[in-house]
Structure 1
């Protein structure tokens, strides 16, 4: 069985075979032309698939770039190791746009901005991070789509907006509100841990999981009973994400102590 077949077989069981196949195609072209190939924007789970692929080929290394320090969504570059010896900087074809509105009347959210962009027919894979500020936001995008967005994005919801090119150096330092949560849960099931982290009932969380609003490690949650472990990241649409930092042990009543870190 070839390395490609082994990798596809592994990701077929998790439902990610299509992405794995696309990344494998890039890796194999890189090995053939002995240079490099760059993917579309990937979430952290997609990046982990790219890392797995690179690790299976001796002449292949992987680098990432999301346009600024601390980016979550990034492009992966498969690079022939021989090419690294004489190559300059890699061209990831990443541009930055700034979207502005009148903050006296409108306060678009991250979801509003993303919805407006995808309403133009833009795939999520073409877009990197969206960094919100008080009167504007910065959008990381593939260079090929930048001019189209500038010309066609004129409103977000009811808010009239203007879009212009910006420099990657203009992007403000990423700020995230972080809250540590110490709690006890009846079990290390996803619904129990997520309910504690997001401050909701276990029943409501189970409903949200069933409605495909919850991901674990950037993959859609399979079920409420899915087991959670230290290091897992639980994200919820519109609510941010929760990272499982520590599970110190069980209480005398058999409940599990957990330390969670919530990013809002």
Structure 2
């Protein structure tokens, strides 16, 4: 691919994780260009969709898509398909049901993920983990489903039962958003983030400096970077906000925004 180094250089600016994702996806796209009808990568952070689309736009001989078990999935498997191929793409996704004694309702997402990673597996075989009270659903690579059933027995020392169920039985989380209307002096990340999360501008800047903040699933570069309607800002431990629209400009030049905040 003639633009490989150019694409790598662009995404490398987003950090080591973005660069590694770009390398993996470029290799997949190259394999399709060399004759494979389609190729599917491992589960990736949402930013993988943007990388895949950028690569496909430069190649023009392939198309890129992502699938993580349901439409709103965050972690997805990115595919590349030859423009000459009209068949289906097998994403190789399985759904596991994990249940435990209902008395242990304090088990959370972090406990489940930690126990899974404690098995020595790679994060890339796991999609989203959907919590459901005294249980959860785990989206995973189909080739690892049987191994997980045989080896995943406990979460935080609590025994669990694991079984594979049809993907049609997936229960996506209900997205609830708090609508926030605010005015900001500028569309800087620290200003918009502070308004959306309801924190001080200095705390927002600190969250950026501590590398806990992402814009569109990419680590934030600085508190002063510009954001715009459609962008998603997330802070580890605080959730995320979406800039829905710019509602106008006041006489004093302050910018009105409609923001959705998700926890």
Q: Same fold (TM over 0.5)?
A: yes
| Structure 2 CA distance for aligned equivalents of residues 105 and 10 of structure 1 | 46
2:36 aligned with 1:10:
no
In the TM superposition, residue 110 of structure 1 has moved relative to its aligned partner by: 2.0
In the TM superposition, residue 175 of structure 1 has moved relative to its aligned partner by: 1.0
Match of 1:155 in 2: 154
Q: Secondary structure in 1 aligned to 2:119?
A: coil
Within a 5 Å distance, the mapping from 1:14-33 to structure 2 comes to: 14-15=14-15, 16-33=18-35
Match of 1:223 in 2: 222
Contact 2:48 2:78 (C-alpha < 8 Å) held by counterparts? no
Deviations 1:161-186 (A, max 9, x none): 22221211111244111111101234
Change in CA separation of 1:83 and 1:211 when aligned onto 2, cut-off 3 Å: same
Deviations 1:220-242 (A, max 9, x none): 11222222211110012233210
Runs of at least 5 residues in structure 2 that lack an aligned partner in the other structure: none
Contact 1:70 1:174 (C-alpha < 8 Å) held by counterparts? no
Within a 5 Å distance, the mapping from 1:207-222 to structure 2 comes to: 207-222=206-221
In the TM superposition, residue 188 of structure 1 has moved relative to its aligned partner by: 2.3
Contact 1:111 1:238 (C-alpha < 8 Å) held by counterparts? no
Deviations 1:49-101 (A, max 9, x none): 101111222321223221223322221211112222xx3x3221111111112
Change in CA separation of 1:251 and 1:159 when aligned onto 2, cut-off 3 Å: farther
Change in CA separation of 1:135 and 1:186 when aligned onto 2, cut-off 3 Å: same
Match of 1:43 in 2: 45
Within a 5 Å distance, the mapping from 1:1-264 to structure 2 comes to: 2-15=2-15, 16-84=18-86, 87=87, 89-264=88-263
Report the RMSD for the aligned CA atoms in angstroms: 2.0
| Structure 1 CA distance for aligned equivalents of residues 108 and 198 of structure 2 | 21
| Structure 2 CA distance for aligned equivalents of residues 255 and 122 of structure 1 | 49
Which moves more between the two structures, 129-138 or 56-65? 56-65
| Structure 2 CA distance for aligned equivalents of residues 47 and 259 of structure 1 | 25
Q: Secondary structure in 2 aligned to 1:172?
A: coil
Deviations 1:103-140 (A, max 9, x none): 32332222222222222223322211111112211111
In the TM superposition, residue 190 of structure 1 has moved relative to its aligned partner by: 1.5
Runs of at least 5 residues in structure 1 that lack an aligned partner in the other structure: none
Query: Structure 1 length as normaliser, TM-score?
Result: 0.90
| Structure 2 CA distance for aligned equivalents of residues 239 and 13 of structure 1 | 25
| Structure 1 CA distance for aligned equivalents of residues 69 and 14 of structure 2 | 29
Contact 1:106 1:159 (C-alpha < 8 Å) held by counterparts? no
| Structure 1 CA distance for aligned equivalents of residues 71 and 244 of structure 2 | 23
| Structure 2 CA distance for aligned equivalents of residues 61 and 239 of structure 1 | 35
- Give the number of aligned pairs: 261
Contact 2:194 2:204 (C-alpha < 8 Å) held by counterparts? yes
Change in CA separation of 1:151 and 1:24 when aligned onto 2, cut-off 3 Å: same
Contact 1:34 1:82 (C-alpha < 8 Å) held by counterparts? no
